[in-house]
Amino acid sequence: MTEFASRADGPVLPADLDEAAHRCLVAGFDGKTSVPDTLKRLIDRGLGGVILFTRNVRDAEQVRHLTDTLRALRPDLMVAIDNEGGGIGHLVAAGAPEVPGSWALGVVDDPRLTAACADALAGHLLSLGITASYAPVADVQSRSENPIVRTRAFGDDPDLVSRHLRAWIAATEARGVASCAKHFPGHGGTVTDSHHDLAVDPRPYDRLDLAPFRAAVDAGVPLLMSAHVVFPALDPERPATLSPRILSELLRGELGFEGVLVSDALEMKAIADRYGEAAGARLALAAGADQVVVAVPDPEVVLACRDAVLAALGSGELAEERVTEAAERVRRLALRYARPRRSRAVAAWDGGAGLTAARRAVRSGAPLPEAVPGAYVVDLFPAPHPALNWGGEDLLTEVRAFDPTATGTAVTGEPEDGEGVRSVEAVVGAVLRGAAGRPLVVATCDAGLHPWQGRVRDALLAARPDALPVSTGLPEPGGAVCAYGRGRVNLRAVAEVLTGQAV
């Protein structure tokens, strides 16, 4: 068996085992037009995949050139991206189809429309040379306090979520793009965001939301992503990503999943702060993962994870059979999806499906209001999540596209007392002055999670009982007009209602 040794970056292993270990890695990187040298060396040694982010995107032609460059280095390299729709996507600058978030699709509850939205996203990916999408979200929004799933889920009912998962997976597969149901065995029953800390779902086994994942497996989903969540009913010690009981016994044994199991990003604090990324990579593969993701564009983190896996193989701490099994699953996935099936001239998709869905999703606790021309719009929402893309969408911009006489403000993040920073009271005072003599629209996004929004909203509604409340997250009490998401088309659909343009 040939030995592999080029530079001092890991123990010397047989060439086939070294390549197998590299197939089990997915790496993020910096760059729009060139590939970093470290990444080139990893690809040459068998790197299984790369994950693209907004940092890798300038426009569609540039992305096509980048994916061509990557595949010229290794034709079976998987090129993946998070592409959920709504506010979760990284291809705005590349002309991504506009679709609402999953919750709005669940509100409409028309699987054919969900399939049309998924088809549009997958068709666009294929045209760019991206053939793996880390979507859809299979989580059920089971806890009102959950800070990370929310409108990314199709809903709070497992049967509804399963219906729309099947539609999404089938449409994506028909395009020749690999879909990925996430985050197994569910992140919707937590009150912690695993990007920031270890999350725990305390429910007993029979209350866990496994049905959508069973539906995804039955639908033939080729990829599943694990959750950095502890489930005491399954494994009281380790998060799912590192748990043999959850990944091997439950997912493989009981659910019968035969595709590629990929970890959520290892640099998330649920893993990084307790285990470290390198140990996380070794433990995840030992537990049953087939690929581990390092999304940050830090080659040292990627190399540390790779070296930990190589060292564990060399010492026998990580079984060769486990890594070769994982690498074989990745190889089969690559044979099926790594190369785009068709030329870049892919079949057209329904570019209007997303706006149609967003329009149909708009709801209100009362009859939808009449138009409010010349309104003052205050849009309150939390600062963008650092791990999720946000294109800067705001409701005022969408309203002004139909009614240039509208004015207002967007407030992103809690206003506090201090030099140069507005307090809640100052914001309320400024809004009331600006809205004098005008209709007032007050939009919030998940005010239950962000009490400052509730304080601003309640003060404004107390001073202006005629004000129209709007919710751009999950429904708020008080008869608000609901968009069920902050994707651009969600906001546009609400803006059409507010300006009398609704069709």
* pLDDT one-digit tens code per residue, 324-371: 999 999 999 999 999 876 556 789 999 999 999 999 999 987 777 889
Weakest-pLDDT range from 1-10, 194-203, 415-424: 1-10
What is the separation of C-alpha 282 from the centre of its chain, rounded to a whole number of angstroms?
A: 24
Q: Domain ranges for the chain, please list them.
A: 23-337, 362-498
Per-residue pLDDT at 413? 82
The CATH number of 362-498, from 3.30.420, 1.10.1060, 3.90.1690, 3.40.50, is 3.40.50
Which of these, 301, 371, 289, lies nearest to 330 by C-alpha position?
289
Per-residue pLDDT at 143? 95
Per-residue pLDDT at 199? 97
Q: Tell me: the pLDDT tens digits for 457-495?
A: 999 999 999 999 999 999 887 778 999 999 999 999 999
Is a pLDDT exceeding 80 seen at residue 26? yes
Q: Are 256 and 242 in contact (CB under 8 A)?
A: no
**HEC profile of 269-335:** HHHHCCCCHHHHHHHHHHHCCCEEEECCCCHHHHHHHHHHHHHHHHHCCCCHHHHHHHHHHHHHHHH
Question: Which SS3 state, helix, strand or coil, does residue 266 take?
Answer: coil
Q: Are 318 and 281 in contact (CB under 8 A)?
A: no
Is a pLDDT exceeding 70 seen at residue 420? no
How far apart are alpha carbons 92 and 96 in whole angstroms? 5
How far apart are alpha carbons 147 and 411 in whole angstroms? 19
Q: What is the set of active-site residues?
A: 195, 264
pLDDT band at 386 (very low <50, low <70, confident <90, very high): confident
Question: Which SS3 state, helix, strand or coil, does residue 327 take?
Answer: helix
Average pLDDT over the chain reads 93
How far apart are alpha carbons 76 and 78 in whole angstroms? 6
Higher pLDDT, 19 or 416: 19
Q: Are 75 and 340 in contact (CB under 8 A)?
A: no
Q: Which residues pair with 363 in a beta bridge?
A: 482
How far apart are alpha carbons 414 and 426 in whole angstroms? 12
With 0-12 / 13-18 / 19 or more C-beta atoms within 10 angstroms meaning exposed / middle / buried, residue 211 is middle
Is a pLDDT exceeding 80 seen at residue 10? no
Mean pLDDT of 248-270: 98
Per-residue pLDDT at 391? 66
Per-residue pLDDT at 3? 40
Structure tokens at 192: 């912690």
Per-residue pLDDT at 417? 60
Q: Tell me: the pLDDT tens digits for 130-169?
A: 999 999 999 999 999 999 999 999 999 999 999 999 999 9
Structure tokens at 316: 């026998």
pLDDT band at 108 (very low <50, low <70, confident <90, very high): very high
CA angle in degrees (0–180, nearest 5) for 356-63-60: 45
Structure tokens at 482: 């609901």
Instruction: Give the strand order in the sheet containing 468-471.
Output: 363-364, 481-482, 468-471, 440-444, 376-381, 407-412
Structure tokens at 387: 């791990």
CATH class of segment(s) 23-337: alpha beta
Q: Which residues pair with 410 in a beta bridge?
A: 379
Q: Are 251 and 224 in contact (CB under 8 A)?
A: yes
Per-residue pLDDT at 94? 96
Weakest-pLDDT range from 9-23, 228-242, 271-285: 9-23
Per-residue pLDDT at 342? 52
Domains 23-337 and 362-498 belong to one CATH topology: no
What is the separation of C-alpha 278 from the centre of its chain, rounded to a whole number of angstroms?
A: 23
Mean pLDDT of 395-409: 97
- Compute φ and ψ for 182, nearest 5 degrees: -145, 155
Per-residue pLDDT at 418? 53
Mean pLDDT of 111-133: 97
Q: Tell me: the pLDDT tens digits for 77-90?
A: 999 999 999 878 89
How far apart are alpha carbons 126 and 54 in whole angstroms? 17
Residue labelled with tokens 């650092």: 386
